[in-house]
Structure 1
Amino acid sequence: MFPKFTKAIVEKLSANLISNDDLNRNWELLTLVKIRKKNLFTYFDSRAKYQPLALKLSSIVDADLDLETETKMLVKDFQSFSCLDGAVEVGGGSGDVQVDVKGQMKTVDASSKVSLMSDHFRFHDLEKLTFRSMWASPWICKQLHGETQTSRSTSFFLSCRKLEQKVLDVLQLKDGEKLAFVKQRVFNTGPVHVFREASRSGSTGAKVLNLVSAGVKGGKAEKSKFTVPENKTFAFALKKLMVQDGVLGFSSEISYKAGSGVIASEAVLIEAGLQRNQAVLKPLAGRTDLLRGLVEVLEDRDALTLLEDTLDLVGSGEYQRPQCEAAAWFLTLLDVSTASRELTDAVHLLVSALEALPGDLPALLARCDPGTLSCIIHMMDCLLYGQVPPPLERPLQEDKELHRLVRLLHSAKDFRDLRENFPDFSPEALLELLYVGVRGLSLMQSPVCS
């Protein structure tokens, strides 16, 4: 609930802020942060993962940083409200037992009003960290500014500091990891109440040996509420650092945040990337047991994000069992300790794609029947190759929540409609995420031929 709330706030405030997904982390100013990022996709730029360290920038450099803090009001009386309403239908089983689950679900998230303040360092003070009296090495200039300066008269003045070995041992930066420090934090001035109300109604049926049928009908309602105390971090911003050969350098004043860039590409190049993804997804075929667990996860955006974060660490053996019940149950079904690398990679790719898709689209796709998913795949193929798509099938005409997406796929010309309606994604990235999500779900629904 808290991560969903903070993400909604950041979407309204600024693209330069990063939402806080852990209420227990306060992201104090000057805190050093590791930035880890894995790119599983060809066209979509995966989101970065942030790990605060038990160190502050002021504790690893000798000189006075000369940074002055400013505090200002960012937003007053912000309030969040969202509602997810739709149908669920999942089938599957093993051996002689087949289970079908059908029903309706509704989830409402809301909050009381909250005013937010910002603690941050002044822009000019941050720039002074970069432009100081020490000349930068050619490597630092190239890494921070994209070019190598050889003339003293044109060199960039950078603050470069030699780090002690004990500090480097604590940092333990691995290949691909970056370092930054917190330059801004956004916090609440008073307590804020966050609410969730979820209700489900439906039936569960079982068929044994194709002879005996049994069913159960019922409903379930859940309500939850918590209060975020005052002065908790809702969002933060980072200033990038560079570490090379034990030397610490400060970047120019550009906020570090993962984003999506538009990549101009031909259909044949997109197809090559999609074919690679399809090969990775093959182990998901017939895994209806995992599908049932995934549907539970997709009902909650926070659970989906937590599952994606956990799967990101499975390969390194550093992951811990998540506290979220739905995410933990899915990992139990997957049994990561004995699952093959191929299956784990397939699940990781699918979950990462679903987590990256906007809004409630992941949950909506998971509720689609196999025929509907096949229709969406066919529409994407037509869009890719400039063909005329087939008429929309009845479920896609009647499903109001999916209709916006499929209408765009059905009518888009040269990706322009997709770019205008989903400005946070390049058309290539959106198609890649959709392909992975829909293909993966479709494979999981398909029976395995013996």
Structure 2
Amino acid sequence: MFKAAAQAFVKRLTADKRFVPNEDPDTELDLLTLVRIKKGSFWTHPKYTVLKSTLPKLVGDKTFSPADKDEEMAVDFRTYRMIGGNVQVKAGDVADAEASADVVDAMSSATIKKKMVDFDCVRETFRGKMIKDDDLKQLKLNKNYTLGFVYERAYNTQPVTLTSSTSCEGKVSGLHNSLLNVGVGMKAEVFTQYKVPENRTFAYSLVEITLNNGKIEIPLETWIHKKRLLSDAIDHDILEKAIDGIEMKENILKLIDKLPESTGGDLLKKLREVLEEDDALSELEDILNESSGPPVSKTVSSFMDILDQSKAPKARDGLCVLVAALDVLPLPLQRSLTSGSPESITVLNQLVESLKDNDEPTLTGSVPAALQPDGDLRWAADLLCSSEETLKTLTDLFDLPPEVLLEVLALAVMGIHKLQGGE
């Protein structure tokens, strides 16, 4: 619920597109906090990892305390997010709202202010400072990662009430119901409400740090969130763009077929273990993309050992596409996909093939239990069979363009199908 409110706040900023929505109110994002930014190998949609350090700590400065100032960003800000059906919601001082929706997230009224650091002071103090080699290694930077520090933070000046209400009379539409089952974005409870204390970070902006032989350089401009990947107006055909993206990467993905038949299952099993470790999937992507040194994770190292023993070096690029696609999806979706039975993944792969052929993918006849209405993988089938209008409703839920969501799902299904021995 907090994530939805933060996303709504950022989306409604008309003059400022540099802010990144915070996902968790308990994540501390004080000024000068360091954030690692992953740009991605195939998709430019960035991911952000908040580090437990600050710019002064990075260079060993224990006394620096820059000037800062506050400004109001929004007075009496409140938000609703509504998805399909009919429910009623009341959030604190938000009036009752009859909403044509199955799921409603709401936030009570709040004043949002932003605190910003004295940029000139920070830049003059830290540019040219050296970072110790050991500290540099801990940052885990490579060609797909950059480093930034928090330049501004947007925060609430008083407690706010967050409310989530879900239709309980069987009205939740197919795709949203199946996403609810795997815990993505929506709560399974009929009604959930809690208060967020004051002074919690709703969003933040970053200034990128570049490194030259270990020396800090600080550009004059701020980091542009999403690098224009997201657009408020979807002005191209979603399905067409998704299919184009699939076809552009399909030939690389097909290199997975170079693996010996017995190796695919071992790699898939190890991939499931990778998903159980924080940040291990991103590390595996970097290793496959040859953009980092030796693996830190033992599970990633085991995955690479299996791949090396297969003596199929060309398969590495195909696996990189699969891992990169999975890394774009939320964790619950990654786990349910990689744990899918061969029968379920085969049916999903058939839906992908129909999508590529510009047919209308449809589930027909008897389907495996995981693809039935309450199954763990029904969300994937519903998504692959969705209309453009349905896909548009998921933009806020996933914070992804709908065409990218559909593309990465299709590529992940195709790659897993290959690891399971499918043609």
TM-score, with length taken from structure 1: 0.51
Separation (CA, whole Å) in 1 of partners of 2:127 and 2:11: 35
- How far residue 73 of structure 1 moved from its aligned partner, in angstroms, is 0.9
CA contact (8 A) 1:181 1:238 kept: yes
Distance 1:407 1:227, change over 3 A: closer
Partner of 2:250: 274
CA change 1:439–1:173 in 2 (3 A) is closer
RMSD of aligned Cα (Å): 5.4
CA distance change for structure 1 residues 275 and 355 in 2, over 3 Å: closer, same or farther?
Answer: farther
**What SS is found at the alignment partner of 1:183?**
strand
Question: Is the Cα contact below 8 Å between 1:281 and 1:440 reproduced in 2?
Answer: no
Structure 2 residues not aligned, in runs of 5+: 86-100, 171-187, 231-240, 286-294, 308-315, 332-336, 338-344, 364-382, 393-399
Task: Determine helix, strand or coil for the equivalent of 1:351.
Answer: helix
Match of 2:369 in 1: none
Residues 197 and 309 (structure 1 numbering): CA distance in 2 closer, same or farther, change over 3 Å?
Answer: farther
- Tell me the CA shift for residue 247 of structure 1: 2.0
Instruction: Check the 8 A contact 2:246/2:411 in 1, yes or no.
Output: no
Give the number of equivalent residue pairs: 308
Q: 1:226/1:312 Cα in 2 relative to 1: closer, same or farther (>3 Å)?
A: farther
Aligned residue for 2:44? 45
Q: Return the alpha-carbon distance in structure 2 between the equivalents of residues 448 and 73 of structure 1.
A: 57
Contact 2:4 2:81 in 1 (8 A): no
Q: Matched residues in 1 for 2:197 and 2:244: separation?
A: 53
Aligned to 1:247: 215
Alignment-mate amino acid for residue 191 of structure 1: P
Is residue 173 of structure 2 the alignment partner of residue 174 of structure 1?
A: no
SS at match of 1:10: helix
- Of 19, 28, 40, the residue aligned with 1:17 is 19
Distance 2:120 2:136 in 1: 28
Is contact 1:308-1:355 (8 Å) kept?
Answer: no
Shift of 1:112: 1.7
Distance apart, 1:23 and its partner CA = 2.0
| Matched residue, 2:32 | 30
SS at match of 2:28: coil
Q: Distance in 2 between matches of 1:339 and 1:201?
A: 51
TM-score of the superposed pair, with normalisation by structure 2: 0.54
Instruction: Confirm or deny: 8 A CA contact 2:80 2:104 kept in the other structure.
Output: yes
Tell me the residue number matched to 1:378.
357
Note closer, same or farther for the CA distance 1:441–1:373 as it changes in structure 2 (3 Å cut).
same
Tell me if structure 2 keeps the 8 A contact 1:60–1:163.
yes
Deviation sequence 1:211-243 (CA, Å, 0-9, x none)? xxxxxxxxx854322211000111111112222
Larger radius of gyration: 1
Give the corresponding residue for 2:115.
119
Residues 18, 222 of structure 2: 8 Å contact kept: no
Does residue 437 in structure 1 map to residue 396 in structure 2?
A: no
Residue 114 and residue 373 in structure 1: after superposition, are their counterparts in 2 closer, same or farther (change >3 A)?
Answer: farther
Q: Sort the Cα spacing of 1:159 and 1:230 in 2 relative to 1 into closer, same or farther, 3 A.
A: closer
Give ranges in structure 1 of 5+ residues lacking alignment. Answer: 87-104, 133-157, 203-219, 295-303, 321-335, 357-361, 380-389, 409-423
Match of 1:403 among 378, 382, 387: 387
Q: SS of the residue aligned with 1:230? A: coil
Aligned residue identity for 2:408: V
Change (3 A) 1:247 1:82: same
1:163 correspondence with 2:98: no
Residue in structure 2 matched with residue 57 of structure 1 by the alignment: 56
Over 3 Å counting, the alpha-carbon distance change for 1:319 and 1:67 in structure 2 is farther
User: Which protein is richer in strand relative to its size?
Assistant: 1
Would the aligned equivalents of 1:187 and 1:234 in 2 still touch at CA under 8 Å?
yes
Q: 1:345 offset after TM fit, Å?
A: 5.8
State the percentage of identical aligned residues.
18
* Cα 1:182–1:5 shift into 2, 3 Å: same
Structure 1 position 255, deviation (Å): 2.8
- 1:28 Cα deviation from its structure 2 partner: 0.8
Equivalent AA in structure 2 for residue 25 of structure 1: T
Q: 1:174 to 1:236 in 2, by over 3 A?
A: same
Q: Which amino acid aligns with 1:19?
A: P
Q: Which moved further from structure 2: 58-67 or 20-29?
A: 58-67
Separation (CA, whole Å) in 2 of partners of 1:126 and 1:194: 33
* Closer/same/farther in 2, CA of residues 257 and 319 from structure 1, 3 Å limit: farther
Q: Residue 177 of structure 2 aligns with which residue?
A: none
**CA contact 1:194–1:225 (8 Å) conserved in 2:** yes
